[in-house]
Amino acid sequence: MGQEIKLRVSNIEKSFPGVKALQNVDFIVKKGTVHVLCGENGAGKSTLMKIINGIYQPDKGQIYIDEKPVKISNPIQARNLGISMIFQEMNFVSEMSVEENIFLGRLPVNKFGKVDWKYVREHTLQLLKDENLPYPPDLQLKMLTISDIQMLEIIKAISYKSDIIIMDEPTSAITQKEVEKLFEKIEALKAQGACVIYISHKLDEIFRIADDITVFRDGMVVSTGPASETDINTVIAQMVGRKLSGDFPKEEAEIGEKLLEVDDFTQPGVFSDISFDLRRGEIIGFAGLMGAGRTEVMRAIFGLDSFERGKVKCRGQRITIKNVRESINNGLVMLSEDRRRYGIIPVRSVKENATLSSLKKIIRGGFLNAKREAELVGELFSKMRVKTPTIETAIQALSGGNQQKVILSKWMMCEPDILILDEPTRGIDVGAKYEIYKLMSEMAKGGKGIIMVSSELPELIGMCDRIYVMHKGRISGEIARKDFSQERIMYYATGTENNAIS
């Protein structure tokens, strides 16, 4: 056992418009082993898993199971081939019971089409007993914790009698104790001869369970082989190894007085003891993994979410954070990470989107000054280099980059001192990214303070003066520009204890 090849992926390629997501991907998973996939986001891991699970079709290449070529056109087919996938973001109906969830989509029916609930109950009881799970089959999912549900997902996968189980970041939502339970389960699965494909960013934990490790970068396999032949440092280096592409238009700005001071900012269970400061002309970065609490901190500072305690000073003055309007009046604005959800009003014109937060400037004495509005927007758009057919065009018709620039224009029109930019370059193309960087530099030079939350390390390194790194709701490190390195950020971000890095 352990040497038979269960799954072989050969020469897979997949393109999305404008981007090669996967190129020439080969790797194998052996029976009774855990195969860990590492790589930054966008490296292609999830795309590959979706291909194996039948959600995407590859442009080229072949998948073999037990060395026989198979074609997987949809997840049901994948399930029939013994493949099941536990998704990172679990989709479940909270009103559903445990047994309904386990048999979701495959409820046994008799010949009249009536569900055989007796069978469902018996099998669920058996499964729960086998797994030593203490809850009754008719319990509603909403009564369970996320990790209970995660365990359920796992026993569900087992109940399919799958022998290839894909787990996408299964530990992102569960506690340390539950992680242990999960690892025990994985060991048990291995012993039964099933193989597990395990995707995780938590480098410290993957070495505990991995038999083999494959590292992805830019849609290609960088290295693949037994875990015993590599170590954490090598894997990190392989993950981020690519040289930074292009220069960042970082310009030196005069660093002035403190614009924002945050002290002991806490919302229990989300973030705690957050203290940092921002000076005029500075761009500071916030790095961290998903769920580290960066966005949550920023939303709370901006007045979108609540927090329990903490002091915030603006230009040396203590302020109380009441709502977004107040923050704008205090000269603080925030560009949200989710542009479609918190940024744009899709059906309205770019003009209206741009002036939405500064209506006082264009509505005077009870009447809208349409000419002034057009002038203001025109000026700003040429400064921000927004490309739009007319200012009356609906914003949804623009490209992502231009939408982002319109939203930036909206905030610039408020003449803020402090800009929080949460993932300002997410989902926009390279050219537009460069433009956004340039605008940031210009703003900093103009005496504004910028907080940049980003998951893209190169841009943080390229643009920031200082970087704060968050891990599990706390600031785990602060790095000055001269000490910037991707490895260093990753160590703080993953919570890895490593004294070798100075």
> Binding other proteins by CB under 8 A: which of 1, 11, 19, 69?
19
Number of residues that bind other proteins (CB under 8 A): 79
Q: Within 277-306, which residues bind other proteins (CB under 8 A)?
A: 287-291, 302, 304
* CB count in 10 Å sphere of residue 271: 25
Cα–Cα distances in Å, from 193 out to 166, 189, 196, 233? 15, 7, 10, 31
109 binds other proteins (CB under 8 A): no
Question: Of residues 84, 101, 200, 336, which one binds other proteins by CB under 8 A?
Answer: 336
Stretch that binds other proteins, among 76-84, 205-213, 223-231, 337-345 (CB under 8 A): 337-345
Alpha helices for 356-448 (secondary structure H): 359-362, 370-384, 400-413, 430-445
Q: Measured from the CB atom, is 127 or 408 closer to other proteins? A: 408
Cβ closer to other proteins: 18 or 134?
Answer: 18
State in angstroms the smallest separation of the CB of 357 from other proteins: 5
Of 142, 161, 242, 445, the residue at the interface with other proteins (CB under 8 A) is 242
Say whether residue 183 binds other proteins (CB under 8 A): no
What is the rounded distance in angstroms from the CA atom of residue 88 to the CA atom of residue 168? 5
Residues 6, 50, 201, 279: which binds other proteins (CB under 8 A)? 201
How far CA 421 is from CA of 339, 353, 451, in Å, comes to 11, 17, 6
User: Considering only residues 31-90, where is the footprint of other proteins by CB under 8 A?
Assistant: 40-42, 46, 88
Q: Does 394 bind other proteins (CB under 8 A)?
A: yes
Q: Give, as one character, the DSSP assignment of residue 339.
A: I
Q: Give the whole-angstrom CA distance, residue 19 versus residue 136.
A: 48
Residues 448-477 that bind other proteins (CB under 8 A): 455-459
Q: Which among 72, 55, 63, 53 has a CA at the least distance from the CA of 13?
A: 63
Interaction between residue 398 and other proteins (CB under 8 A): yes
Per rule CB under 8 A, is residue 327 in the interface with other proteins?
Answer: yes
**Complex with other proteins: residue 32 or 219, whichever CB lies closer:** 219
**Stretch of residues binding other proteins (CB under 8 A), selected from 70-78, 154-162, 306-314, 362-370:** 362-370
- Rounded Cα–Cα distance for residues 70 and 8 (Å): 10
Which residue in the set 119, 400, 417, 487 belongs to the binding site for other proteins (CB under 8 A)? 400
Least Å from the CB of residue 303 to other proteins = 9
- Nearest-angstrom CA–CA distance, 167 and 157: 10
Q: Is 17 in a helix, a strand, or coil?
A: coil
CA–chain centroid gap for 210, Å, is: 23
Supply the DSSP symbol for 274: E
- Encoded one letter per residue, x for contact with other proteins by CB under 8 A and - for no contact, window 427-446 reads xxxxxxx-------------
493 forms part of the interface with other proteins (CB under 8 A):
yes
Q: Minimal CA–CA distance to 403: which of 394, 413, 412?
A: 394
